[in-house]
């Protein structure tokens, strides 16, 4: 576990470098360290997955990297540029339901393009492209209230993809989807990511998803959230969801599950004692 | 979409199928019958409770007189200007209070205290500031609708899902884009509600001012009929006014439902 500390500020070669982040929250039960000295570096075009049990500080880290958190210790840099607010190179897909209920699907997806002032015909064209990419053809004029939770999440993914960010941050983007859609949409995202050479940071607690998509997987500990291990995934590219049935895949899943089980059961014990107290 | 049917329910005139409508019609008929009975019995002064036919005649005369429409136009213009001025300033104040916890804690209590105060007490001041013409009436209407609109806007802004604000920030929307593309549309239901309440009190404020001191407008016509003791005409005017209020409310409600139909009830 201690070898990991050195992984830290390894990267002058990283386009996204997170250096020694600490984030504490004041809660009713006293201060809570959500993220504890986390460092990581993502190389250009790399797909890094961060995996960890529920409540370990993944979303907190995600929001810090996205520039949406004001006070924390440590630094985040994008191509050497210190992040002090939402960075133009970064696009975020949130864990929570985040579509705009007053906008149709196509207007939701075109939102970031509207913000940058793209012409209407052009942005609607681009939005339609990404809508069909996430398999929502024919739903352009529908409103989020008329869609299922999984479809709404696909709208959010399409919206962020439409802004064509150089760095894509995703916080459990597939959590609301069924297994089949998740695998297929994972393929799509991977395809775009490879085409655009997008640097991607995916936050998840799904092991299959992490191994299917990532070049490297960073396993986090349960509270306080630290880096437990980083695993290189040496599976051939281009990859498709069929890989999940291969032997090497199973090997990686077992390895990460070993790490994660320890943390997850620690988390469950911790929550139980808390409930009793 | 089941919701939609209920919200946009067009009035059906099948009384059997719609017990609510049947009850509504029944009470109107009962009141009219009672009224006519009292008028015919001669228990009260004829002039205080004129017969339905007298009122009906007066209503026809009223609705066909150009003088009525000129005064209606005056009042409508005053209410419209009041809603515009009071509504916009209420919206701006509401956005500011909704956006700042500190300012809300400092100033919102004032709005809560002043909101229910009868605004007519300001009328003498408004006359001194804006004269006896339409200006002081507009001011009364504007003061009246400022409060409900400011309070609903402030409450509405605090109810916006924080995630939607984070989405806007993550796409680097500037302040104006945040307001026009996220805050205002996310607040559309509380704002429409505020405008509906505001419209009601703007009409009250304006009419009340007209009845106190004026030489035109519907409030003036009502008081004039009263001072000439022309009761049928006065009742006719009240009926016409009710219908206007109902129509105005229906328009605001329709605008609100229009949006719900497409965007769901969320
Ligand atoms: N605004 C906040 N105030 C206080 N505590 C917070 C706040 N946000 C998060 N926390 C706490 O910080 C810890 C980490 O939360 P976070 O949302 O980052 O977890 P997570 O790893 O994303 O979990 P999940 O997988 O369930 O989404 C949790 O214990 C949470 O209760
Ligand atoms: Mg989370």
Q: Do A102 and B186 touch (CB under 8 A)?
A: yes
Give A44 Cα–ligand 1 centroid separation in angstroms: 28
Give A169-221 pLDDT, tens digit per residue. Answer: 999 998 878 888 888 888 888 888 888 889 999 999 889 889 989 999 999 88
Length of chain B measured in residues: 266
Q: What is the pLDDT of residue B183?
A: 94
Of residues A206 and B46, which shows the higher confidence score? A206
pLDDT digits (tens, 9 = 90+) for B87-132: 999 999 999 999 888 999 999 999 999 888 888 899 999 999 998 8
Which bound ligand lies closest to the C-alpha atom of A25? 1
Nearest to B163 among A98, A102, A115 (CB): A98
Ligand 1 centroid, distance to A32 Cα (angstroms)? 10
In chain A, the residue whose alpha carbon lies closest to the alpha carbon of B259 is A102
| Residue of higher predicted confidence among A224 and B60 | B60
**Cα–ligand 2 centroid distance for A75 (angstroms):** 21
pLDDT at A215: 92
Interface of B with A in 105-164 (CB under 8 A): 163-164
Instruction: Quote the DSSP letter at residue B179.
Output: I
Tell me, what's the pLDDT at B6?
A: 45
What's the pTM value of the predicted model, to 2 decimals?
0.81
* Of B99, B80, B209, residue with least CA distance to B145: B80
Interface test with B, best of A90, A101, A158, A201 (most B CBs within 10 A): A101
Question: Poorest-confidence range of A248-257, B36-45, B192-201?
Answer: B36-45
The residue written with tokens 């004032």 in the block is B110
What backbone torsions phi and psi does residue A49 show, to the nearest 5 degrees?
-105, 140
Cα–Cα nearest to A272, from A236, A228, A237, A222? A222
The whole-number pLDDT of residue B168 equals: 96
Predicted confidence band of residue B13 (pLDDT cuts 50, 70, 90): low
**First vs last C-alpha separation in chain B:** 11
ipTM (interface predicted TM): 0.88
State the DSSP code for B120. G
Instruction: Inform me whether the pLDDT recorded for B254 exceeds 90.
Output: no
Give the pLDDT confidence of A117-140 residue by residue, as tens digits. 999 999 999 999 999 988 899 999
pLDDT in tens, A55-87: 889 999 999 999 999 899 999 999 988 989 999
Handedness of CA A238, A173, A133, A120 (dihedral sign): negative
Average confidence score pLDDT of chain B: 87
Whether B9 has a pLDDT exceeding 50, the answer reads: no
Q: What gap in Å lies between CA B121 and CA A202, rounded to an integer?
A: 62
pLDDT at position A177 is 83
Q: Is the pLDDT of residue B265 over 80?
A: no
Quick one: which of B182, B177, B169 has its CA closest to A91?
A: B169
Q: What is the pLDDT of residue A113?
A: 96
For residue A70, give the nearest of A27, A25, A131, A136 by alpha carbon: A25
DSSP letter (8 states) at residue A81: E
Report the candidate in B139, B152, B122, B146 with the shortest Cα–Cα distance to residue B199: B146
**pLDDT confidence tier of residue B141, bands split at 50, 70 and 90:** very high
Q: Would you call A98 and B171 a contact, using CB atoms and an 8 Å cutoff?
A: no
Q: Are A214 and A254 in contact (CB under 8 A)?
A: no
A-chain CB neighbours of B167 within 8 Å are 92, 94, 98, 100
The verdict on a CB contact (< 8 Å) between A143 and B171 is no
Residue A156 has pLDDT above 90, yes or no: yes
HEC profile of A39-103: EEEECCCCEEEEECCCCCCHHHHHHHHCCCCCCCEEEEEECCEECCCCCCCEEEECCCCCCCCCC
| Cα gap A141→A107, rounded to integer Å | 8
Q: How far off is chain B from A115, nearest CA to CA, in Å?
A: 6
Domains and CATH numbers, chain A: 1-29+42-55+63-89+166-277 (3.40.50.300), 97-164 (no CATH)
A141 pLDDT band, cuts 50/70/90, is very high
DSSP 8-state secondary structure symbol assigned to residue B183: I
Per-residue pLDDT averaged across A23-29, rounded?
89
Q: Which residue in B has a C-alpha nearest to residue A157's C-alpha?
A: B167
Q: How does residue B173 score in pLDDT terms, banded at 50, 70 and 90?
A: very high
């Amino acid at each position: 576990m201690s070898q990991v500390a050195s992984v830290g500020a390894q990267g002058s070669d990283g386009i996204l470098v997170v250096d020694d982040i600490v984030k504490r929250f004041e809660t009713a039960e006293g201060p809570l360290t959500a993220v504890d000295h986390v460092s990581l570096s993502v190389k250009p075009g790399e797909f890094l997955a961060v995996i960890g049990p529920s409540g370990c500080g993944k979303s907190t880290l995600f929001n810090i990297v996205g520039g949406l958190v004001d006070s924390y210790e440590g630094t985040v840099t994008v191509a050497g540029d210190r992040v002090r607010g939402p960075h133009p190179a970064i696009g975020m897909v949130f864990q929570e339901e985040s579509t705009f209920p007053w906008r149709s699907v196509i207007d939701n997806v075109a939102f970031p393009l509207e913000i940058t002032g793209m012409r209407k015909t052009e942005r609607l064209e681009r939005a339609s492209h990404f809508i069909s990419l996430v398999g929502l053809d024919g739903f352009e004029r529908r409103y989020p209230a008329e869609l299922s939770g999984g479809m709404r999440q696909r709208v959010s993914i399409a919206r962020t993809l439409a802004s064509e960010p150089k760095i894509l941050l995703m916080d459990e983007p597939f959590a609301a989807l069924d297994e089949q859609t998740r695998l297929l949409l994972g393929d799509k995202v991977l395809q775009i990511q490879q085409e655009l050479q997008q640097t991607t940071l995916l936050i998840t607690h799904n092991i299959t998803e992490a191994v299917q998509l990532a070049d490297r997987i960073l396993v986090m500990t349960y509270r306080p959230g630290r880096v437990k291990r980083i695993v290189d995934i040496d599976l051939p590219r281009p990859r498709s969801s069929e890989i999940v049935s291969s032997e090497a895949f199973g090997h990686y899943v077992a390895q990460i599950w070993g790490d994660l089980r320890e943390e997850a059961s620690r988390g469950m014990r911790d929550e139980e004692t808390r409930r009793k107290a | 979409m089941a919701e939609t049917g209920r919200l946009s329910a067009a009035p059906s005139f099948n009384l059997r199928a719609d017990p609510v409508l049947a009850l509504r019609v029944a009470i109107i008929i009962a009141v009219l019958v009672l009224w006519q009975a009292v008028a015919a019995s001669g228990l009260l002064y004829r002039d205080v409770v004129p017969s339905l036919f007298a009122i009906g005649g007066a209503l026809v005369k009223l609705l066909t007189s150009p003088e009525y429409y000129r005064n209606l136009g005056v009042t409508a213009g005053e209410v419209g200007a009041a809603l515009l001025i009071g509504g916009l300033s209420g919206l701006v104040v509401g956005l500011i209070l909704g956006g700042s916890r500190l300012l809300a804690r400092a100033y919102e209590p004032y709005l809560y205290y002043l909101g229910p105060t009868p605004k007519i007490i300001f009328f003498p001041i408004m006359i001194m500031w804006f004269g006896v013409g339409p200006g002081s009436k507009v001011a009364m209407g504007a003061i009246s609708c400022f409060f409900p609109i400011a309070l609903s806007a402030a409450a509405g802004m605090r109810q916006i899902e924080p995630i939607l604000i984070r989405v806007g920030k993550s796409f680097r929307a500037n302040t104006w884009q945040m307001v026009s593309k996220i805050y205002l549309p996310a607040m559309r239901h509380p704002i429409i509600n505020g405008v509906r309440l505001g419209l009601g009190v703007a009409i009250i404020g304006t009419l009340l001012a007209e009845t106190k001191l004026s030489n035109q407008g519907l409030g003036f016509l009502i008081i004039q009929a009263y001072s000439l003791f022309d009761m049928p005409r006065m009742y006719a005017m009240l009926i016409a006014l009710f219908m206007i209020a109902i129509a105005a409310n229906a328009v605001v409600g329709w605008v609100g439902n229009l949006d719900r139909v497409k965007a769901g009830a969320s």
